[in-house]
Chain A
Amino acid sequence: MAEKRYPFKFLDAYAREDSDIFFGRNDEIENLYEMVFQSDLLLVYGASGTGKTSLIQCGLANKFQTHDWLPLFIRRGSNLNQAFANELETAGGTLAEADNNALDWLDDDLSNETSASAATKTLSPLARRLRAIYLRHFKPVYLIFDQFEELYVLGDKKEQDKFIESVQEILRVEQPVKIIISIREEYLGYLYDFERAVPELLRKKLRVEPMNLDKVQTVITSVGQLPNSNVRLETGQEAAIANQIFEKIRGGATSLTIELPYLQVFLDKLYLHATGDEHRQADALLSLDTLKKIGNIGDVLRDFLDEQVLLIARALDQKPDAIWRILSPLVTLDGTKEPLSGPDLCNRRPEMAPALIDSTLQALVKGRILRFTEHNQRYEIAHDSLAKQIAAKRSDEEISLLEVQRMIKSQVAMKAEAREYFSEKQLAFMEPYLQKLTLGNEENTHIENSRKFLRQKKKKQQQRKKVTYASIAAAFVLLAALAIWALGQKKTAEESLEKVERTEIVKKAEELKTYGDSYRDLQKDSSALDTYQQAWDTLDFYQYKHPELKDEEIYQALKKILNK
């Protein structure tokens, strides 16, 4: 009889060999498998905790015979393009060694006789690598980019653009190569540029729905019916047990679905509650009674995390806060996982002893909160659902520290010519946290350059102020001088006008007097008197304005004639 197995995966994704315990996703598996033959590029998306990775790594994988697919699972690590290149290398995508020139013709396209060598030589290194992999295995290559949101959460534009170029190239290669991208649905919007460059990106996509009651029932009853499972359900109570589990995980929420990690952690907790066997080898019989005894569970994932952190803190003789602080850098500000190596983590926590960090990491791995990947020597949070919980635990100061870190990283990640210096406000915000961060040379240089730039800017601003004030004073003086000059000019003009006016008046009075003289010569005395009077009136009218008219000869003459 086959050895009994524990049928729950906790926070691990299901793999190809877990097909006997992977339930509730038959429709999605069939749909995805159909799609594989309809497009060379597929997108699998869904909320965190819906089991996208398991769907591909277990569900889809088991639809293929081993000779029908060569899956290359690619996670970003520190750079997606580098991780991709490494994976191709591992799969046999090494370019032919130049140690046997006599066999160079093997790289030629023999169907193209005219330009056999040229045809192959024009292949890009990526196309040549994919061809090498195909020739090594003769299987269709499936490039599976899991947790693709990391490219946008942790990567920069340059990394994103290079990856898009690679995808465009892959879609052109002759060999059977397909791409499957798995991404959290809240990051779909980030794919805008990608879709513009590769329009088929969103043509074939599958949304992985969260688990509803029907699916949870399928999972739980199927697990209970597995012949080699060490978990059994009380006969006749299967549906009711599934219903109770669903309700307990859902808590008071009205949601019609639950997240898989919650289900897995709950089932594990239930098993431990029923058996107390931490090795998970004892047989368990789950019944409504077992469920009743476990009582109300609250947030099962948060409780699990709190409990583990507390246990680890106690074992290491530390305060829980120290453990939370070690966990914190492993989660981005957005609450997603950020895989880090041990040394990376020590750099992020310079105030903590490396030995403490190391022993905490080991304990967290043992406690199934962290996972350690051998090939890239990185630690990562076991699931994004846990990452969210860790993010929620952060203090304001911790959040600020991460914000500062992100601000610095996002600038330094850009090409030097594209970087922008931090503003005064940003530097002021960053300043209190800089001591707590271990920054690289480039990062320190950028901050120092920002400060320098700011100092120079301030100096220039001050100089500019001085120049401005001086200019204003000069302008004021100039304006005053201009005003004085204008007044002078005005006076001169007025004087000139007055002179002209006086001359005109005198001239007019003289003309009238001449007429008066003419009347007098003709002995028309009354007309002469009237005319003299008009000449006098003319002068008299302007006399208030030009008193100097009295000095004119004509004034005196008329005064005598008229006896004024």
Chain B
Amino acid sequence: MSTSPANSGPQVVIQSTSDETITLKVNGEVRQIRNQLDELKALLQEKNQQNVQYADKIYNIGHIDQANFGFITGKKAFNETLTKQLIEALQTSSRPAQIFLERVATTPQWETQVRISDKAKEIIAYSFAGVIGIQLSKLMAIGKEDFSETKQRKYIEKCLQIAKRSVDLICFALISRMLDAKAETVSRLSSDLKMVLQKRFDEAFEPTLEEQFRLLNVLHAFFGDQANGLEAPMPELNSLGQALQQGSDLHLTFQNLQALNGKLDKGQYDLLDCFEAETQLAAFFKYFHFLANYRMASIKHIGYQHTRKEDPRYLIRYAALGIDSKANIDAEKINYSVDTVQTEAVLLYRGDNYRDNVNLFPFVVDYNALSFEQGSKICFYRSQAIADGNLEYLFLEDNSILSIEKKKDFPPPDADFNDLLISADNRKALNLNSVVNQFRGARTYLLGGELNFDDL
């Protein structure tokens, strides 16, 4: 949409904007017009120009419409569109969002009022499932930063990350549910699904949004086929049949987001792309806002209590994941129960009852829980390293890559586990080995043992 300014560039340069006016320099002469697209277009027509320069970017007036014009002139804030659309989409899944919309019903253009809009952002960030809520709050934070080149890049990047991690979360939930299914069910996996799954397991690069759409599509088809007798862990997915078809509006959204990814990679983005990213993310959540119905928790520790003539009980210490999750041991929650859950688990569950959950491990891991630390370090499986086959996870907080490798020849075949487990380092190594073992076990269970990474 834009190019970098050249010597023969446009003569119309936006110098500053306010709510009411735009100050421009036209062939060296300072002009002031009302902050309206029509007036800008008229001015350019008068000067026989197609382009207008703002900051260090040149925009073709043909690419500017009423929707994105406010974004360029600063009249429309970052996240304004997203916040409005997201809170409206959320009203079916989030009671706070519903109350909010009832209260602003009589306030026209509430999204332009910072205080009200901030409240909506707060509801959005707190409503979404664990780590997705945190990512949305980061997007809000970027939107509030002063305008800069970095801000634009970070904003587009974060919109893309939110979409990618949301799809990851859904796909990992579906794959995890398949892992819990009987072998007979798994045996019905189509070769098409196996091929897409194998790519997800084995690929050395992060999947593109287009690839993620494809994975979601085939997984959805498997769960949608009643003959397989397997229910999706998220019933809301059942209604997405049409949306997940090739050529659908949702597919187009994925493609648009992918296109933005391409611009980002080439460093060819501008302010209009930020608006585009925001718009596409809002379109994305029109379908996936149901994630607000879900919560996430990381199981930190399970204790066992069994006294004479009493029923045994489990003391399950877990950390709720989300903006309000605290890193202190005192802030971790405890469930004293007759039932237990799997250890080393990151759970996704609907509503408040975490007992009815899907365990996302080993696709989503809490590195701190694996290393017996407090707080949570939630990492999503990304890819396999080309060089050594180590598993690469994305630490969502800073998008850094965390490599998990299986410690070779550990534990030694003749090891006495009573001695071995005394050392915290050994316990941690066993946990990390368990991630790799579980991952490879999952792959073998779903795809058969076509490739053995131990041979690498």
Contact = CB atoms under 8 A, between A and B. Distances in A.
A75 interface: no
B121 interface: yes
A255 interface: no
A68 B144 CA distance: 12
A111 B373 CA distance: 30
> Of A136, A139, A178, which is in contact with the most chain B CB atoms at under 10 Å from its CB?
A139
Contacts of B138: 67-68, 138
B327 A37 contact: yes
A57 B99 CA distance: 42
A175 B331 CA distance: 13
Interface in B142-188: 142, 144-145, 150, 154, 158
Interface in A100-138: 103, 105-106, 110-111, 113, 135-138
A25 B282 CA distance: 42
Interface size of B as a range: 35 or more
Contact of A65 (B116, B126, B154, B375): B154
Contacts, number: 88
A171 B327 CA distance: 10
A410 B116 CA distance: 49
B115 A200 contact: no
B329 A200 contact: yes
A200 B398 contact: no
B328 A171 contact: yes
A155 interface: no
A96 B116 CA distance: 12
Contact of A37 (B95, B125, B330, B368): B368
Contact of A174 (B121, B141, B324, B329): B324
A130 to B, nearest CB: 12
A105 B123 CA distance: 13
> DSSP class of B's interface residues: helix, strand, loop or mixed?
helix
Given A68-B138, A175-B324, A137 B144 contact: yes
Interface stretch (A38-46, A144-152, A284-292): A38-46
A64 interface: yes
A66 interface: yes
Contacts of B398: 63-65, 68
A176 interface: yes
B96 A111 contact: yes
Given A110-B100, A138-B140, A138-B144, A67 B154 contact: yes
A420 to B, nearest CB: 38
A38 to B, nearest CB: 4
Contacts of B144: 136-138
B175 to A, nearest CB: 26
A344 B182 CA distance: 79
A37 B321 CA distance: 12
Interface in B102-139: 103, 115-116, 118-119, 121-123, 125-126, 137-138
Nearest to A174: B324
Contacts of B38: none
Interface in A27-55: 37-41
A37 B126 contact: no
B397 A106 contact: no
B377 interface: yes
Contact of B141 (A67, A113, A178): A67
Interface in B365-381: 368, 373-377
Nearest to A139: B141
Contacts of A138: 121, 125, 137-138, 140-141, 144
A174 B123 CA distance: 13
B377 to A, nearest CB: 5
B116 A103 contact: yes
A110 B104 CA distance: 13
A41 B328 contact: yes
B326 A40 contact: yes
A41 B398 CA distance: 20
A110 B115 contact: no
B422 to A, nearest CB: 22
A179 to B, nearest CB: 11
B328 A68 contact: no
A555 B90 CA distance: 139
B323 interface: yes
Contacts of B99: 110, 113
Contacts of B376: 37
Nearest to B325: A176
B245 to A, nearest CB: 36
B326 A105 contact: no
B326 A171 contact: yes
B121 A38 contact: no
A472 to B, nearest CB: 66
Nearest to A199: B330
A135 B118 contact: yes
B328 A200 contact: yes
A113 B121 CA distance: 19
A113 B97 CA distance: 12
Contacts of A68: 138, 141, 397-398
Contacts of B95: 110-111, 113
Given A38-B377, A96-B115, A111-B96, 11 more contacts: A39-B328, A40-B375, A64-B398, A110-B100, A111-B95, A113-B95, A135-B118, A135-B122, A137-B141, A174-B324, A176-B324
Interface of B: 95-96, 99-100, 103, 115-116, 118-119, 121-123, 125-126, 137-138, 140-142, 144-145, 150, 154, 158, 323-324, 326-331, 368, 373-377, 397-398
18 contacts: A38-B327, A39-B374, A40-B331, A65-B154, A66-B150, A67-B142, A67-B154, A68-B138, A96-B115, A103-B116, A105-B103, A106-B119, A111-B96, A138-B121, A176-B324, A200-B328, A200-B329, A200-B330
